[in-house]
Amino acid sequence: RFRKENQWIDRAKLEFLCKEDKFLVYRLYDDQHSLKVFHNLSGEEVVFEGVKMKPYKTEVV
């Protein structure tokens, strides 16, 4: 289950998109949603596609 803006997404599928130097990118989708999930693997702040990610943080956009 993933939470996005107070909505729970059940039965969601994760599709691996790419691995960069400092993060992993997945596509998270179900029947109504298609979101991107960014996992920051590094100990520093990373900005990717306009998303600012804190160290070791996961963002859903």
Which position has the token pair 């590094």?
Answer: 42
- Domain housing 6: 2-60
Model-wide pTM > 0.85: no
DSSP label at residue 2: E
- Whether 2 has a pLDDT exceeding 70, the answer reads no
Q: How many domains does the chain have?
A: 1
| pLDDT (average), residues 13-33 | 79
22/3 Cα distance (integer angstroms):
23
- Whether 44 has a pLDDT exceeding 80, the answer reads yes
| pLDDT (average), residues 16-21 | 81
Q: Output the domain CATH number for residue 25.
A: 2.60.40.1180
